[in-house]
Homo-oligomer: A and B are copies of this chain.
Amino acid sequence: MPELLLKSIQEKVSATGQELQVCRSYFTPKKLKKRQFLLQEGDVCNRLAFVEKGALYSYSTDSKGGQHVIQFAFEGWWIADLYSFFTLEPSNLNIEALEDCELLLIDREQHQHLLAEVPKYETYIRLLYQNAYIALQRRVESTVGLTAEAKYNRLLEQYPYIVQQVPLNLIASYLGVTPETLSRIRKQSAK
């Protein structure tokens, strides 16, 4: 079974079998059941996670106990709190499994080694950041200055599968509105 991770690296930087082997050797698998946590608020994020199977999401908690979804991660995506990962400061994010997951993890030291040892891994990571940054900027564009309805419609256009796979209350949180508001928007749009 060719792992998604290796396929992802292969596609983006056409690494050789040899290089892929080396990369793979730095990762360790981990399984997570639905509702289990990969990272909890207050802990330092010590590893990057690649999603082989399943789905996760990250969120912060505000002073009033409200949850704010930062990111979803489906099969073939990465997830972590990069801020905590690089600064070593305690994270204020939680990363939780939306369903049963199979992950490949790499910790800080191994990530550094791999960057130095395999130039194509560095290129892969650069491209990853590049795409992640672009996607995030598009999210900011959607978020700032649009009505709740417009934000929802953009999400539907750009990431229809998110709307299908994820509970609506989390989508509401991702969009920065309450579940009630999202429910009403959907009722409107249905017409």
> Which residues in A have some Cβ–Cβ distance to B below 8 Å?
60, 62, 66, 68-71, 82-83, 86, 119, 122-123, 125-126, 129-130, 132-134, 136-141, 143-146, 173-176
Contacts and interface: CB of A to CB of B under 8 A. Distances in A.
Contacts of A138: 83
Contacts of A136: 133, 136-137, 140
A66 B143 contact: no
A139 B137 CA distance: 10
6 contacts: A70-B137, A83-B137, A86-B130, A129-B129, A139-B140, A144-B176
A145 B173 contact: yes
A141 B176 contact: no
Given A83-B138, A136-B140, 18 more contacts: A66-B145, A68-B144, A70-B140, A70-B144, A71-B137, A82-B134, A82-B137, A83-B137, A119-B119, A125-B126, A129-B129, A129-B132, A136-B136, A139-B140, A140-B143, A143-B143, A143-B176, A145-B173
A175 B122 CA distance: 34
Nearest to A130: B129
Nearest to A92: B141
A130 to B, nearest CB: 6
A66 B126 CA distance: 34
Nearest to A68: B145
A174 to B, nearest CB: 7
A173 to B, nearest CB: 7
A174 B146 CA distance: 12
Nearest to A128: B129
